Amino acid sequence: MNSYQVIFLPGDLVVEVQAGSTIREAMDLAGIDFDFPCGGRGKCGKCRVHVPAGTGDPTATESELLQPRELEAGIRLACEARVHGHMTVELPRQLQHNILMTSGERTYRIEPHLKKIFVEMAEPSLDAQHSDWHRLKDSLAGRGYNPACLEIPVALLRRLPDTARRAGHRLTAVMHGSTVAGLEEHDTVPVMLGMAFDIGTTTIVGYLLDLYSGEDLCAVSTLNPQTRFGADVISRITFANREKGGLNRLHTAVVEAVNKLVGEAVKKAGVTREQVYGVSIAANTCMHHLFLGINPGNIAAAPYVAAVSEPVVAGAGELGIDINPAGRVFVLPNIAGFVGADTTAVLLAAEVDRSADIKLVIDIGTNGEIALGSGERMVACSAAAGPAFEGAQISCGMRGADGAIDHVKFQDGLSYSVIGGGKPLGICGSALLDTVAGLLELGMINKRGKLLPPEQLTGEAAGLKDCFVEHGGQPAFVLAGAGETGHGRAVMITQSDIRELQLAKGAIAAGIRVLMEVLGVEPGDIKEVLLAGAFGNYLNPHSACVIGLIPPELESKITMIGNAAGTGAKLALLSSGEYRRAAGIAEYVEFVELGSYPRFNSIFARGTYF
Amino acid sequence: MNSYQVIFLPGDLVVEVQAGSTIREAMDLAGIDFDFPCGGRGKCGKCRVHVPAGTGDPTATESELLQPRELEAGIRLACEARVHGHMTVELPRQLQHNILMTSGERTYRIEPHLKKIFVEMAEPSLDAQHSDWHRLKDSLAGRGYNPACLEIPVALLRRLPDTARRAGHRLTAVMHGSTVAGLEEHDTVPVMLGMAFDIGTTTIVGYLLDLYSGEDLCAVSTLNPQTRFGADVISRITFANREKGGLNRLHTAVVEAVNKLVGEAVKKAGVTREQVYGVSIAANTCMHHLFLGINPGNIAAAPYVAAVSEPVVAGAGELGIDINPAGRVFVLPNIAGFVGADTTAVLLAAEVDRSADIKLVIDIGTNGEIALGSGERMVACSAAAGPAFEGAQISCGMRGADGAIDHVKFQDGLSYSVIGGGKPLGICGSALLDTVAGLLELGMINKRGKLLPPEQLTGEAAGLKDCFVEHGGQPAFVLAGAGETGHGRAVMITQSDIRELQLAKGAIAAGIRVLMEVLGVEPGDIKEVLLAGAFGNYLNPHSACVIGLIPPELESKITMIGNAAGTGAKLALLSSGEYRRAAGIAEYVEFVELGSYPRFNSIFARGTYF
């Protein structure tokens, strides 16, 4: 019987099917995930594809369900139209998937990095003594691969003879480009999972995904075990270079954490490690290097150069990642030494590279990464905010965990909310912002950040007088008295805390200012402000604008986009097209080194004022 | 200053040089090994190259040393002509190298698999904070590489930052295609060595070569340590599959032997392991599989299928080969389960694929590999000769070592020669052939192989009467009496020995017969017989024809080509073009399975007659 080639666009996936097969059958063979709402029974007319040639006349069902002008334009139903010649099938927008973000949905196309191809190899005979590899190549050639380009590592050649024979020559080849990355007995095509990781300096989050459907199976997270060697990036770089085997200990720690999270996730989802074929990694440049086992030392000293910024693809085994041995690790590209792959992931998720409008993207952490621009041009910098936003170096500061006051209101007297709902234990960054913003609006903090004496309080605010105390020789403002808290000590902010906040917000504000100068734009030119990251998601935009962290003109344009780095990592894992786009983003974004920017110091000093 | 691209043909090697450089300087930069007999002083006029455009007027020296018609045709001197624009330089036949073979010289072109590129990377600065890998790619782009195609393994990325800084950003990149295979401090371009191996079932031979000049630095050899697990291919396959860890023990044994030989060779030549960047391997299919760690089990049972026949390229580390970590191993392709990469290497060396004439190539060992044909079509088979030719299973047989009678003459009485010149200890295969041939010519052995009673000897030959004895109940012919030998026992051949030889020569003769039938040729159509291998190099062609091992009509057409498998391995190592040709040979040669050939048994039975 004749067989014909069917090429699916976009993606150029080629399959060979027997004459008379339906396009649906060809899709099955190609492993294309396509929606047949009625189960392919010719009832719903939803499986429209564009077939310019190679199929016969429309069936009665097609004539009924499709408009004459659709039929004229080559639109057919995949469950009805049959293959009667070589053909090109253009897939519709239905293959566009959506990923949920805090700010709504983000559309993307699933394009797995790896493909699983089920083949039935010819069995050898005295008349056809071709080698096992030759026959496997023949089978793959029948599925659209160019046999001259196919490659296989020696480790798999060693397994090929036995695997083929145990499975009766029915194998699934796991393909990475034209390289055979894995060989599995029988048909394992239906399952292919992956994990996207956002490796933060403090926290590692992993998402288990179905690589065919993009479905989020579960999320897991853990403290980055490297914290025991140093809390921040600089102390880890020091550890890597001063302690014996320091680099290797940091590298091993993060790899083990990733492996542990893979284990947790597959257990939670009731699947196995062996079903995980891909891992993507978003991380700041230092975490990126440590994950790869590369010394990040040169990031820490001028001129702050990364060893590698480009996308890195490595075998799972090469990096010690315990997933299917055929698996690959896709590390997102860095933009610069202090603007890492996590920022690339945020920009990928936020699609700023496709925007005609100018957008400001801020991911606030110990370092605030700021990007400003549009698809035409984008500049980015890293502002050394210090740990104030994360509650560190603040007298009653704590992370945004149970017991932290996270929001403070000055309407109708002072009120606050506590994470977890219990008695307060301290304040986190967002509450620090709210408090300082509130006191500023009450006129109790002047432009230079000085906490004024409570005598100046008037009207409604006069009720707050008792909150002003002296603590350790400096003025302070009490949010919760000793009797209200979980530990019996008052929770307050002191004059020093305000100074810390001024430095932190000054760094971010200066970064934004410099980027605006470089791009030659004013706040009015900025159409949207996207706040990414845990802190960005928590803070009150109004407070951020009152204290001048974000130019006040932009308050109405602020959107929280949540853990966009995680979303970017997911996109890069699910779609090789998105991964390539990430490479493009890392290349086109211009890094601005604040330290060497003229007049940076005066811009920063001005930025610390309220 | 302007710089221009110079493209060297053949090979498409591109370099960029400053305007005004000589072509010789461009060659240096490109790492092209070119002969300047006068040292590039414009004295000898030997460094002729063809430059159609891009250089200035001929210099006075060129006008003096070159003919006007040469200058008109674009011929210039590389040491004199300067680069004044983008140009293409066609290299002359001078780059054709010759390799010495027993049968003369074989011309080839040096095309190293790996290239060494010395680069001076840009140092990073606050104004140019590109990553180390980015800057290395930029440097390589300046040497003609497409930066988008360049790849580097994670293991090298880990070393890049420190290596670059230790060396002041002056590095030598070892390139395998567009992959950076190694990074070395400073300029290590001048040295690149390789080793070609012929891994026989019994003996492993290695040749240390200069990969730039093709110069043979030294040869080393050792007994294949796998012999302790089994003397022949079949017993090793059995060991691999019956003994626990058998495959791994065989694999490790041969890898260790290769590593030991590399060590011996570099010591002999006064170089280091780290200077060895390439290894090529010729071996029969079973040795090939064991070297790669692939179970050869399926070769032993019908349908005798190899796991892989195609060329295999692997990293030295992947196979445990202890050379420069950037090194690559180039394994020659097999033709079939019993016609291995050693035969491919023989055919590569013998250039039969380029011959318009029909040639017969025989490599006699325990298995005789036979190939017949021309560049148009070639057929090959493996004949199970058994060990008789190697002196095994022969009553006084021994290998061709010291003490072996290697040649026997019946002119003017009986005389023989002994390897090493001492007293005889036994006979090797070539002497067995000579003896049987001599007795056949004397009429003392009949067509069926029966040793006739000495009473029939007449004339001069009657003097041999005393050589005929009875030994262990069968007739025998004494070559050396007990008094003449080194161990005090007579050296003789018995009726059983003659039977063994009949089986061995019958197998080869039948193989030749079958190939002639398949190709439809008669002995008269065959223009040359090439005998390869140690035994083929030792035997007396006349004796081989008298006993019918080779059709007698071909006696005058026999050429010994020595260890052509070793020569083929050298060619494949020195020239990527020759390695590709080997792949073409393995693909175009048609394997003929003797066991399934119709009437093979009767052809074989006839072949055992004299």
Q: Are residues A160 and A279 in the same domain?
A: no
User: Distance between CA atoms of B113 and A13, rounded to whole angstroms?
Assistant: 33
- Asked if pLDDT for residue B94 goes beyond 50, the answer is no
Q: Average pLDDT in the A606-610 region?
A: 92
Q: Which residues of B touch A295 (CB under 8 A)?
A: 158, 161-162
Q: Are residues A364 and A506 in the same domain?
A: yes
Q: Which residues contact A603 (CB under 8 A, 6 or more apart)?
A: A510, A513, A514, A597
- Asked if pLDDT for residue A450 goes beyond 50, the answer is yes
Q: How confident is the model at residue B10 (pLDDT cuts 50, 70, 90)?
A: low
Confidence (pLDDT) at A7: 84
What's the structural domain count of chain A?
Answer: 5
Q: How confident is the model at residue B11 (pLDDT cuts 50, 70, 90)?
A: low
Q: Are residues B600 and B526 in the same domain?
A: yes
Q: How confident is the model at residue B69 (pLDDT cuts 50, 70, 90)?
A: confident
Q: Is residue B338 part of a domain?
A: no
Query: Please, what is the average pLDDT of chain B?
Result: 91
Closest CA–CA distance from residue B284 to any residue of chain A (Å): 14
DSSP state of A111: B
| Token couple for B414 | 């009986």
Q: Any idea which of A252-261, A466-475, A560-569, B48-57 has the lowest mean pLDDT?
A: B48-57
Identify which of B92, B60, B87, B61 has the alpha carbon closest to the alpha carbon of residue B75.
B92
Q: Is residue A537 part of a domain?
A: yes
How many CB contacts within 8 angstroms connect chain A with chain B? Answer: 137
- Asked if pLDDT for residue A574 goes beyond 70, the answer is yes
- Asked if pLDDT for residue B571 goes beyond 50, the answer is yes
Q: Which of residues 335-374 of B touch A (CB under 8 A)?
A: 336-337
- Asked if pLDDT for residue A152 goes beyond 80, the answer is yes
- Asked if pLDDT for residue A93 goes beyond 70, the answer is no
- Give the rounded distance of the alpha carbon of A97 from its chain centre: 16
Q: Among B125, B157, B305, select the one facing A294 at the smallest CB separation.
A: B157
Contact A310 B334 (CB under 8 A): no
Query: Please, what is the average pLDDT of chain A?
Result: 91
Residue with tokens 């009986």: B414
- Asked if pLDDT for residue B485 goes beyond 70, the answer is yes
B356-386 residue pLDDT tens: 999 999 998 778 899 999 999 999 999 988 7
Whole-structure pTM over 0.90, yes or no?
no
Q: Are residues A200 and A294 in the same domain?
A: yes
Q: Are residues B496 and B518 in the same domain?
A: no
Q: Average pLDDT in the A575-579 region?
A: 92
- Counting Cα atoms < 13 Å in the Cβ hemisphere of B125 gives 5
Closest-CA residue of B relative to A292 is B154
Which one of B135, B164, B185 terminates a domain? B185
- Asked if pLDDT for residue A85 goes beyond 90, the answer is no
Residue B54 backbone class (left: φ over 0; alpha: ψ -120 to 50; beta: rest) = left
Q: Is residue B343 part of a domain?
A: no
Strand partners, A561: none
What ipTM was predicted for this assembly? 0.84
Strand partners, B528: B359
CATH of the domain at B585: 3.30.420
A102-131 residue pLDDT tens: 777 888 888 889 999 999 999 999 888 999
Q: How many CB atoms lie within 10 A of CB A465?
A: 11
CATH of the domain at B133: 3.10.20.880
Q: Which residues of A touch B318 (CB under 8 A)?
A: 153-155
Contact B307 A124 (CB under 8 A): no
Q: Are residues A394 and A530 in the same domain?
A: no
**Residue B178 forms contact with A (CB below 8 Å):** no
Confidence (pLDDT) at A109: 83
For A535, the domain range is 352-387+502-608
User: Distance between CA atoms of A298 and B310, rounded to whole angstroms?
Assistant: 44
CATH of the domain at A250: 3.30.420.480
Confidence (pLDDT) at B93: 54
User: Distance between CA atoms of B266 and B194, rounded to whole angstroms?
Assistant: 10
Q: What percent of chain A has pLDDT over 90?
A: 70
User: Distance between CA atoms of B160 and B135, rounded to whole angstroms?
Assistant: 11
Q: Is residue B228 part of a domain?
A: yes
**Residue B420 forms contact with A (CB below 8 Å):** no
User: Distance between CA atoms of A16 and A25, rounded to whole angstroms?
Assistant: 11
**Residue A334 forms contact with B (CB below 8 Å):** yes
Q: Which residues of A touch B293 (CB under 8 A)?
A: 154, 158
Query: With 0-12 CB in 10 A as exposed, 13-18 as middle and 19+ as buried, what is B455?
Result: exposed
Q: Are residues A374 and A394 in the same domain?
A: no
Contact A341, A283 (CB under 8 A): yes
- Asked if pLDDT for residue B213 goes beyond 50, the answer is yes
Q: How confident is the model at residue B411 (pLDDT cuts 50, 70, 90)?
A: confident
Helix, strand or coil, per DSSP, at residue A445: strand
Q: Is residue B602 part of a domain?
A: yes
Q: Average pLDDT in the A494-513 region?
A: 95
Q: Are residues B260 and B302 in the same domain?
A: yes
B512-545 residue pLDDT tens: 999 999 999 999 999 999 999 878 788 999 999 9
Which one of B185, B218, B243 terminates a domain? B185
Q: Is residue A108 part of a domain?
A: no
Q: Are residues A9 and A148 in the same domain?
A: no
Which one of A498, A522, A552 terminates a domain? A498
Query: With 0-12 CB in 10 A as exposed, 13-18 as middle and 19+ as buried, what is A455?
Result: exposed
A45-81 residue pLDDT tens: 778 888 877 778 889 999 888 888 888 888 899 999 9
Q: Average pLDDT in the A244-255 region?
A: 97
CATH of the domain at A85: 3.10.20.30
Q: Are residues B546 and B496 in the same domain?
A: no
**Residue B241 forms contact with A (CB below 8 Å):** no
Confidence (pLDDT) at B45: 79
Q: Is residue A339 part of a domain?
A: no
Secondary structure of A269-324 in HEC code, one letter for each residue: HCCCHHHEEEEEEEECHHHHHHHHCCCCHHHHCCCCCCCCCCCEEEECHHHCCCCC
Q: Average pLDDT in the A222-234 region?
A: 92
Q: Any idea which of A460-469, B317-326, B577-586 has the lowest mean pLDDT?
A: A460-469
Residue B307 backbone class (left: φ over 0; alpha: ψ -120 to 50; beta: rest) = alpha
Q: How confident is the model at residue A595 (pLDDT cuts 50, 70, 90)?
A: confident
Q: By 3-state DSSP, what share of chain B in percent is helix, strand and coil, each rounded to 5?
A: 40, 30, 35
Q: Are residues A395 and A313 in the same domain?
A: no
Instruction: Pick from B237, B279, B308 the residue to mutate for testing the A interface (most A CBs within 10 Å).
Output: B308
Query: With 0-12 CB in 10 A as exposed, 13-18 as middle and 19+ as buried, what is B356?
Result: exposed
Confidence (pLDDT) at A225: 96
User: Distance between CA atoms of A593 and B72, rounded to whole angstroms?
Assistant: 57
C-alpha dihedral over A385, A391, A392, A393, to 10 degrees? 90
Inter-CA distances, A182 with B91, B115, B575, Å:
44, 30, 31
Q: Per-residue DSSP letters for B82-135?
A: BB-SSEEEE--GGGEEEEEETTEEEEEE-B-SEEEEEEEPPPPBTTB---HHHH
| Token couple for A459 | 């009207």
User: Distance between CA atoms of B293 and A177, rounded to whole angstroms?
Assistant: 25
Q: Is residue A230 part of a domain?
A: yes
User: Distance between CA atoms of B239 and B229, rounded to whole angstroms?
Assistant: 7
Q: Any idea which of A15-24, A211-220, A373-382 has the lowest mean pLDDT?
A: A15-24
Q: Are residues B376 and B432 in the same domain?
A: no
Helix, strand or coil, per DSSP, at residue A346: helix
